[in-house]
Amino acid sequence: MMSAVILLWGMNYVVSRFLVGLDPIRVSGILLALIRYLLGAITMIGVMFYQRRGIHAIADEVRPYRRMLLISAFFSAVFVMVSHMATEFVSSGTTSIIVNLSPALVLVYSVVFLSEKLTLAKIVGFVLGLVGGLTILWTNLLFTSGLELGLSLALIGMVSWAGYTVALNYLEGADRYVVTTVNQITSTLMMVPFVVFVMMEGTSLILVLDIWSISGIVFSGILASGLAYVLYFSVIESLGAAKASSFLFLIPFVGLVGDFALGEPPGLIALLAGLIAIAGVGLVRMSQSDV
């Protein structure tokens, strides 16, 4: 099941790049983000009905976590918007690698604010992730012009995903299915004003409905934002949260394979830097799972 989760979340970057970043453009990134979470929220509501969770039961479950849920929903909304917007400008592999450097930021937070023990493996992983990430940014900026906005959006995605991860730590003990359902509903509502603002600024949003866009939107919304969470929670129940999350560093590998499939293979330096960054993040995650 964990392999399916990695494949679904990794493929989502590839699908996003195909829909929003390659000609012919079929949907705007920010609109894809909104539709994705809307479909994801509907899917999770279906899960709630299947589990026979009433509104009152859900309200009772989230009441002790309301403030942190709002914070996590905000970070989640920012993440999904900027990550899909980033794929308008940069490849799926580059976006997924930069976003998935977030465990390095979580490590810094854990050490500074939670007094987490700093081990040699974590230090080496942090350095490798930092060096690999900076090299990717350097090679993209040096050899390809016009990527500044896309890379900046990917970096914001990394920071927001790290913030979301930290917020989830404070939701420990809450029902994961309920939290995800409320989170996706709240995040969807939070995204609406951003979309309206973009339209009021005169930006025309693209939505071309054909077999490719419909299939991609369904994949992103129902499979990558609904089914993937259900599968992930099942893995957590069997392996534990720390061990399950330790495998997520493999997600960028799917993005890199997607680059080749989409005809955007990375240069040798960028590929090596990406592998170094992934290895570094893997060290951080695996060492955290052993704590």
* Phi, psi for residue 149 in degrees, rounded to 5: -65, -45
Q: State mean pLDDT over 147-170.
A: 87
- Cα gap 187→83, rounded to integer Å: 14
CA angle at residue 176 from 171 to 178, to 5 degrees? Answer: 100
- Cα gap 232→7, rounded to integer Å: 12
- Only one residue has tokens 């403030």, namely 67
Between 232 and 86, whose confidence is greater? 86
Q: What single-letter amino acid sits at 170?
A: Y
Question: Is a pLDDT exceeding 60 seen at residue 29?
Answer: yes
DSSP 8-state class, residue 87? T
Q: State mean pLDDT over 169-178.
A: 82
Q: State mean pLDDT over 3-11.
A: 89
What percentage of the chain carries pLDDT values higher than 70?
93
Question: Is a pLDDT exceeding 80 seen at residue 237?
Answer: no
What percentage of the chain carries pLDDT values higher than 90?
37
- Cα gap 278→265, rounded to integer Å: 17
Per-residue pLDDT at 85: 94
Question: Is a pLDDT exceeding 80 seen at residue 51?
Answer: yes
Structural tokens at position 37: 């979470």
Structural tokens at position 223: 């499979």
Helix (H, G, I), strand (E, B) or coil at 255: helix
Question: Is a pLDDT exceeding 70 seen at residue 204?
Answer: yes
Q: What single-letter amino acid sits at 99?
A: V
Between 215 and 61, whose confidence is greater? 215
Which pLDDT band, with edges at 50, 70 and 90, does 246 fall under?
low
Q: Of the candidates 174, 284, 188, 281, which has an alpha carbon nearest to the alpha carbon of residue 233?
A: 174
- Average pLDDT of the residues of the chain: 86
Per-residue pLDDT at 240: 62
Q: How does pLDDT run across 102-116, given as a tens digit for each residue?
A: 888 888 888 887 777
Per-residue pLDDT at 143: 61
- Cα gap 176→174, rounded to integer Å: 6
What Cα–Cα distance (Å) separates residue 147 from each residue in 142, 177, 263?
A: 10, 37, 18
Per-residue pLDDT at 78: 96
Per-residue pLDDT at 165: 83
Per-residue pLDDT at 70: 93
Any idea where the domains of the chain sit in the sequence? 2-289
Structural tokens at position 200: 């009021």
| Ranges 42-56, 78-92, 132-146, most confident | 78-92
Ramachandran assignment for 105, one of left (phi > 0), alpha (psi -120 to 50 degrees), beta (any other): alpha
Which pLDDT band, with edges at 50, 70 and 90, does 145 fall under?
low
Q: State mean pLDDT over 84-89.
A: 94
The helix, strand and coil proportions of the chain, stated in percent and rounded to the nearest 5, come to 80, 0, 20
Question: Is a pLDDT exceeding 80 seen at residue 245?
Answer: no
